[in-house]
Amino acid sequence: MSGSFNPQKCKIQLKLAISRLKLLQQKKTATNQAVRREIAQLLEKGKVESAKVRTENIIREDFTVEALEILELYCEILVARFGLLEQLRHCDQSISEAVNTLIYAAPRCEVKELTQIQLQLIAKFGKEFGTAALANENDVVNSRRPTRCSSTKYLVTIAKAYNVPYDSEFAALGPNGDLIDDLLAPPPPLNPAAAANSSALIDLAALAAAPAPFVAPAGAAAAAAPPPQPPQPPLDPARLAPDDAPSVAPSTATDFDELTRRFEALKKRK
Protein backbone atom coordinates (compact mmCIF):
# COMPACT_ATOMS: atom_id res chain seq x y z
CA MET A 1 0.00 0.00 0.00
CA SER A 2 2.96 2.29 -0.65
CA GLY A 3 2.91 5.36 -2.84
CA SER A 4 1.40 8.79 -2.69
CA PHE A 5 -2.09 10.00 -3.43
CA ASN A 6 -2.61 10.79 -7.12
CA PRO A 7 -5.78 12.89 -7.54
CA GLN A 8 -5.87 12.46 -11.32
CA LYS A 9 -5.57 8.67 -11.14
CA CYS A 10 -8.10 8.45 -8.32
CA LYS A 11 -10.72 10.43 -10.22
CA ILE A 12 -10.24 8.37 -13.38
CA GLN A 13 -10.60 5.13 -11.40
CA LEU A 14 -13.78 6.42 -9.75
CA LYS A 15 -15.32 7.13 -13.15
CA LEU A 16 -14.17 3.77 -14.50
CA ALA A 17 -15.70 2.07 -11.47
CA ILE A 18 -19.03 3.82 -12.06
CA SER A 19 -19.10 2.51 -15.64
CA ARG A 20 -18.08 -0.98 -14.55
CA LEU A 21 -20.68 -1.11 -11.77
CA LYS A 22 -23.45 -0.02 -14.16
CA LEU A 23 -22.44 -2.73 -16.62
CA LEU A 24 -22.40 -5.43 -13.96
CA GLN A 25 -25.86 -4.38 -12.76
CA GLN A 26 -27.23 -4.63 -16.30
CA LYS A 27 -25.70 -8.07 -16.89
CA LYS A 28 -26.87 -9.53 -13.59
CA THR A 29 -30.36 -8.07 -14.01
CA ALA A 30 -30.66 -9.58 -17.50
CA THR A 31 -29.47 -12.96 -16.19
CA ASN A 32 -31.95 -12.82 -13.32
CA GLN A 33 -34.76 -12.04 -15.73
CA ALA A 34 -33.98 -15.18 -17.73
CA VAL A 35 -33.92 -17.28 -14.55
CA ARG A 36 -37.28 -15.83 -13.50
CA ARG A 37 -38.79 -17.07 -16.75
CA GLU A 38 -37.36 -20.54 -16.06
CA ILE A 39 -38.80 -20.48 -12.54
CA ALA A 40 -42.22 -19.55 -13.94
CA GLN A 41 -42.00 -22.54 -16.29
CA LEU A 42 -41.15 -24.82 -13.37
CA LEU A 43 -44.17 -23.54 -11.44
CA GLU A 44 -46.36 -24.09 -14.48
CA LYS A 45 -45.20 -27.72 -14.57
CA GLY A 46 -45.84 -28.14 -10.85
CA LYS A 47 -42.15 -28.47 -9.90
CA VAL A 48 -42.41 -26.20 -6.88
CA GLU A 49 -39.41 -27.55 -4.95
CA SER A 50 -37.12 -27.09 -7.93
CA ALA A 51 -38.48 -23.57 -8.36
CA LYS A 52 -37.72 -22.77 -4.70
CA VAL A 53 -34.13 -23.90 -5.10
CA ARG A 54 -33.68 -21.66 -8.14
CA THR A 55 -35.31 -18.78 -6.29
CA GLU A 56 -32.62 -18.78 -3.58
CA ASN A 57 -30.06 -17.89 -6.23
CA ILE A 58 -32.32 -15.13 -7.56
CA ILE A 59 -32.54 -13.61 -4.09
CA ARG A 60 -28.76 -13.61 -3.67
CA GLU A 61 -28.25 -12.03 -7.06
CA ASP A 62 -30.87 -9.37 -6.37
CA PHE A 63 -29.00 -8.43 -3.22
CA THR A 64 -25.75 -8.31 -5.17
CA VAL A 65 -27.29 -5.96 -7.75
CA GLU A 66 -28.42 -3.67 -4.95
CA ALA A 67 -24.94 -3.75 -3.42
CA LEU A 68 -23.43 -2.74 -6.76
CA GLU A 69 -25.87 0.16 -6.97
CA ILE A 70 -24.85 1.31 -3.49
CA LEU A 71 -21.17 1.23 -4.48
CA GLU A 72 -21.96 3.14 -7.66
CA LEU A 73 -23.64 5.85 -5.60
CA TYR A 74 -20.63 6.11 -3.30
CA CYS A 75 -18.33 6.55 -6.28
CA GLU A 76 -20.63 9.25 -7.65
CA ILE A 77 -20.54 11.07 -4.31
CA LEU A 78 -16.74 11.10 -4.32
CA VAL A 79 -16.67 12.39 -7.90
CA ALA A 80 -19.21 15.08 -7.04
CA ARG A 81 -17.25 16.13 -3.96
CA PHE A 82 -13.78 15.46 -5.24
CA GLY A 83 -12.60 18.88 -4.11
CA LEU A 84 -13.06 17.82 -0.50
CA LEU A 85 -11.24 14.56 -1.12
CA GLU A 86 -8.33 16.28 -2.81
CA GLN A 87 -7.88 19.35 -0.62
CA LEU A 88 -8.56 18.22 2.94
CA ARG A 89 -5.91 16.35 4.90
CA HIS A 90 -8.45 14.49 7.02
CA CYS A 91 -11.55 12.70 5.75
CA ASP A 92 -14.49 15.11 5.81
CA GLN A 93 -17.68 13.87 7.49
CA SER A 94 -19.71 14.39 4.31
CA ILE A 95 -17.61 11.82 2.40
CA SER A 96 -16.55 9.64 5.33
CA GLU A 97 -19.13 6.92 4.76
CA ALA A 98 -18.36 6.70 1.05
CA VAL A 99 -14.60 6.54 1.63
CA ASN A 100 -14.80 3.92 4.39
CA THR A 101 -17.29 1.77 2.51
CA LEU A 102 -15.31 1.73 -0.75
CA ILE A 103 -12.17 0.71 1.16
CA TYR A 104 -14.17 -2.00 2.94
CA ALA A 105 -15.84 -3.29 -0.25
CA ALA A 106 -12.78 -3.41 -2.54
CA PRO A 107 -11.55 -6.90 -1.53
CA ARG A 108 -15.11 -8.22 -1.29
CA CYS A 109 -16.39 -7.62 -4.82
CA GLU A 110 -15.47 -8.29 -8.43
CA VAL A 111 -14.76 -4.71 -9.56
CA LYS A 112 -11.01 -4.38 -10.07
CA GLU A 113 -11.16 -0.58 -10.23
CA LEU A 114 -12.18 -0.51 -6.58
CA THR A 115 -8.82 -2.00 -5.65
CA GLN A 116 -7.06 0.97 -7.21
CA ILE A 117 -9.49 3.34 -5.51
CA GLN A 118 -8.80 1.63 -2.20
CA LEU A 119 -5.03 2.11 -2.62
CA GLN A 120 -5.50 5.77 -3.48
CA LEU A 121 -7.78 6.43 -0.51
CA ILE A 122 -5.40 4.71 1.90
CA ALA A 123 -2.50 6.69 0.43
CA LYS A 124 -4.54 9.84 1.04
CA PHE A 125 -5.74 9.20 4.59
CA GLY A 126 -3.11 6.79 5.93
CA LYS A 127 -2.65 3.10 6.67
CA GLU A 128 -4.30 3.31 10.08
CA PHE A 129 -7.41 4.82 8.48
CA GLY A 130 -7.45 2.02 5.89
CA THR A 131 -7.00 -0.70 8.50
CA ALA A 132 -9.89 0.68 10.54
CA ALA A 133 -12.13 0.80 7.48
CA LEU A 134 -11.27 -2.77 6.45
CA ALA A 135 -12.04 -4.00 9.97
CA ASN A 136 -15.19 -1.85 10.17
CA GLU A 137 -13.99 -0.34 13.43
CA ASN A 138 -16.44 1.99 15.15
CA ASP A 139 -19.16 0.77 12.75
CA VAL A 140 -17.95 2.93 9.87
CA VAL A 141 -19.85 0.43 7.70
CA ASN A 142 -23.26 -0.33 9.15
CA SER A 143 -23.75 -3.98 10.11
CA ARG A 144 -27.55 -3.91 10.45
CA ARG A 145 -29.27 -6.83 8.76
CA PRO A 146 -32.83 -6.15 7.60
CA THR A 147 -35.30 -9.00 7.39
CA ARG A 148 -34.76 -11.30 4.44
CA CYS A 149 -37.54 -11.83 1.95
CA SER A 150 -38.57 -15.49 1.79
CA SER A 151 -38.29 -17.57 -1.36
CA THR A 152 -42.02 -18.25 -1.15
CA LYS A 153 -42.80 -14.56 -1.50
CA TYR A 154 -40.52 -14.37 -4.52
CA LEU A 155 -42.30 -17.36 -6.05
CA VAL A 156 -45.71 -15.73 -5.62
CA THR A 157 -44.44 -12.52 -7.19
CA ILE A 158 -42.91 -14.37 -10.16
CA ALA A 159 -46.06 -16.43 -10.65
CA LYS A 160 -48.19 -13.28 -10.64
CA ALA A 161 -45.91 -11.52 -13.12
CA TYR A 162 -46.04 -14.45 -15.57
CA ASN A 163 -49.70 -15.33 -14.94
CA VAL A 164 -48.81 -18.77 -13.65
CA PRO A 165 -51.12 -20.43 -11.08
CA TYR A 166 -49.40 -20.86 -7.74
CA ASP A 167 -51.19 -21.30 -4.42
CA SER A 168 -49.50 -20.68 -1.12
CA GLU A 169 -51.42 -19.70 2.00
CA PHE A 170 -48.17 -18.66 3.69
CA ALA A 171 -47.20 -16.27 0.90
CA ALA A 172 -50.62 -14.74 0.40
CA LEU A 173 -50.03 -12.29 3.26
CA GLY A 174 -46.94 -10.55 4.52
CA PRO A 175 -45.75 -10.56 8.17
CA ASN A 176 -48.16 -7.69 8.98
CA GLY A 177 -51.08 -9.25 7.17
CA ASP A 178 -50.49 -7.14 4.04
CA LEU A 179 -50.60 -8.48 0.54
CA ILE A 180 -47.12 -8.95 -0.85
CA ASP A 181 -47.75 -6.75 -3.86
CA ASP A 182 -45.13 -4.47 -2.28
CA LEU A 183 -42.49 -6.50 -4.12
CA LEU A 184 -43.83 -5.04 -7.34
CA ALA A 185 -44.76 -1.61 -6.04
CA PRO A 186 -42.61 1.51 -6.48
CA PRO A 187 -40.75 2.79 -3.41
CA PRO A 188 -42.63 5.09 -1.01
CA PRO A 189 -42.16 8.90 -1.12
CA LEU A 190 -38.60 9.85 -0.33
CA ASN A 191 -37.18 12.19 2.25
CA PRO A 192 -34.22 14.07 0.71
CA ALA A 193 -33.01 15.55 3.99
CA ALA A 194 -30.52 13.00 5.25
CA ALA A 195 -28.71 11.03 2.61
CA ALA A 196 -26.96 13.74 0.57
CA ASN A 197 -24.38 14.21 3.31
CA SER A 198 -24.26 10.43 3.98
CA SER A 199 -25.51 10.92 7.52
CA ALA A 200 -27.54 7.69 7.45
CA LEU A 201 -25.33 4.61 7.15
CA ILE A 202 -26.20 2.13 4.44
CA ASP A 203 -25.70 -1.52 5.21
CA LEU A 204 -22.87 -2.85 3.03
CA ALA A 205 -21.69 -5.52 5.47
CA ALA A 206 -25.11 -7.13 5.08
CA LEU A 207 -25.44 -6.81 1.33
CA ALA A 208 -27.27 -10.11 1.20
CA ALA A 209 -30.11 -8.86 3.32
CA ALA A 210 -32.01 -6.12 1.49
CA PRO A 211 -33.91 -7.43 -1.54
CA ALA A 212 -33.88 -5.43 -4.73
CA PRO A 213 -37.26 -4.64 -6.30
CA PHE A 214 -38.61 -7.22 -8.68
CA VAL A 215 -38.08 -6.49 -12.37
CA ALA A 216 -41.18 -7.19 -14.45
CA PRO A 217 -40.70 -9.72 -17.29
CA ALA A 218 -39.65 -8.41 -20.65
CA GLY A 219 -42.85 -9.63 -22.27
CA ALA A 220 -45.00 -7.75 -19.78
CA ALA A 221 -43.12 -4.50 -20.15
CA ALA A 222 -42.11 -4.59 -23.80
CA ALA A 223 -44.13 -1.51 -24.62
CA ALA A 224 -42.45 0.65 -22.00
CA ALA A 225 -38.97 -0.75 -21.50
CA PRO A 226 -36.11 -0.01 -23.90
CA PRO A 227 -34.23 -2.98 -25.40
CA PRO A 228 -31.25 -4.23 -23.35
CA GLN A 229 -27.96 -2.54 -24.07
CA PRO A 230 -25.24 -4.67 -25.71
CA PRO A 231 -22.21 -5.49 -23.52
CA GLN A 232 -19.55 -2.80 -23.58
CA PRO A 233 -15.87 -3.59 -24.19
CA PRO A 234 -13.54 -3.48 -21.17
CA LEU A 235 -12.27 -0.04 -20.26
CA ASP A 236 -8.55 0.64 -20.39
CA PRO A 237 -7.49 3.39 -17.97
CA ALA A 238 -4.03 3.54 -19.57
CA ARG A 239 -5.54 4.95 -22.76
CA LEU A 240 -7.62 7.56 -21.03
CA ALA A 241 -6.47 11.11 -20.61
CA PRO A 242 -8.11 12.96 -17.71
CA ASP A 243 -10.56 14.65 -20.04
CA ASP A 244 -11.28 11.39 -21.88
CA ALA A 245 -12.21 9.34 -18.83
CA PRO A 246 -15.77 7.99 -18.69
CA SER A 247 -17.77 10.94 -17.59
CA VAL A 248 -20.62 11.20 -15.18
CA ALA A 249 -23.39 13.36 -16.53
CA PRO A 250 -23.30 16.84 -14.96
CA SER A 251 -26.69 16.33 -13.43
CA THR A 252 -25.44 13.11 -11.77
CA ALA A 253 -22.18 14.55 -10.54
CA THR A 254 -23.60 17.71 -9.05
CA ASP A 255 -27.25 17.07 -8.33
CA PHE A 256 -27.13 16.12 -4.66
CA ASP A 257 -30.93 15.93 -4.50
CA GLU A 258 -30.86 13.11 -7.03
CA LEU A 259 -28.20 11.24 -5.04
CA THR A 260 -30.34 11.78 -1.96
CA ARG A 261 -33.42 10.27 -3.60
CA ARG A 262 -31.49 7.23 -4.77
CA PHE A 263 -29.97 6.62 -1.33
CA GLU A 264 -33.37 6.92 0.34
CA ALA A 265 -34.86 4.48 -2.16
CA LEU A 266 -32.16 1.93 -1.37
CA LYS A 267 -32.61 2.35 2.38
CA LYS A 268 -36.31 1.54 2.11
CA ARG A 269 -35.87 -1.75 0.23
CA LYS A 270 -36.29 -4.00 3.25
Q: What value, to the nearest 5°, has the Cα angle with vertex 228 and ends 77 and 62?
A: 60
Say yes or no to pLDDT of 243 above 60.
Answer: no
| Mean model confidence pLDDT for the chain | 74
What is the per-residue pLDDT across 22-44, written as a single tens digit (0 to 9) for each?
999 999 999 999 999 999 999 99
Is residue 45 within 8 Å of residue 245, measured between CB atoms? no
What is the per-residue pLDDT across 151-205, written as a single tens digit (0 to 9) for each?
888 899 999 999 998 876 444 444 444 444 434 434 344 343 333 343 334 445 4
Measured between alpha carbons, how far is residue 38 from residues 47, 55, 182 in Å?
11, 10, 23
Residue 181: what pLDDT?
Answer: 41
pLDDT above 90: percentage of residues in the chain: 44
What is the per-residue pLDDT across 197-208, written as a single tens digit (0 to 9) for each?
433 344 454 444
Residue 140: what pLDDT?
Answer: 86
Indicate yes or no: pTM above 0.75. no
Q: What value, to the nearest 5°, has the Cα angle with vertex 37 and ends 34 and 41?
A: 140
Band (107; pLDDT cuts 50, 70, 90): very high
d(CA 191, CA 188): 10
> Which is more confidently placed, 143 or 68?
68
